[in-house]
Amino acid sequence: MKNLDKFIDELKDNLGDNLLSVIAFGSQANVEDAKNNLNLMIVTNQLTAENLYAISKPVQKWVKDKNPIPVIMNRDEWYSSFDVYAVEYADIKENYRLIYGEDLVPSICINKYFLRLQCEAELKNLLLKYKNSFLMNIKSDREMKKVLDNVIKTLLIIFRSVLRLHDSAVPYRAVDIIEFTSNYLSFNKIVMSKLARVKYENEDYTKQELIFIEAELLKDIQSMLKQVDAMHF
What does the pLDDT look like over 96-110, one tens digit per residue?
999 999 999 999 999
Residue 140 pLDDT class (50, 70, 90 cuts): confident
Is it the case that residue 215 has pLDDT exceeding 70? yes
From the list 189, 184, 187, 178, the residue with the least C-alpha distance to 230 is 184
What pLDDT does residue 1 have? 64
Cβ atoms 114, 86 nearer than 8 A:
yes
Which residues lie below 8 Å from residue 223, measured CB to CB, with a gap of 6+? 186, 187
Question: Domain check: are 79 and 169 in the same one?
Answer: no
Is it the case that residue 30 has pLDDT exceeding 80? no
Question: Domain check: are 18 and 80 in the same one?
Answer: yes
CA 196, CA 192: separation in Å to the nearest integer?
A: 6
Q: Looking at residue 65, which CATH number applies to its domain?
A: 3.30.460.10
Question: Domain check: are 134 and 177 in the same one?
Answer: yes
What does the pLDDT look like over 65-92, one tens digit per residue?
999 999 999 999 999 999 999 999 999 9
Question: Domain check: are 102 and 141 in the same one?
Answer: no
The boundaries of the domain holding residue 158 are 112-230
Residue 34 pLDDT class (50, 70, 90 cuts): low
Choose one of 91, 107, 123: the last residue of a domain: 107
Question: Domain check: are 87 and 160 in the same one?
Answer: no
Buried b (16+ CB within 10 A) or exposed e, 118-143: bbbebbeebbeebeebeeebeeeeee
Question: Domain check: are 141 and 53 in the same one?
Answer: no
**Domain tally, the chain:** 2
Residues paired with 98 in a beta bridge? 23
What pLDDT does residue 138 have? 64
pTM of model > 0.75: yes
Choose one of 107, 128, 144: the last residue of a domain: 107
Question: Domain check: are 88 and 135 in the same one?
Answer: no
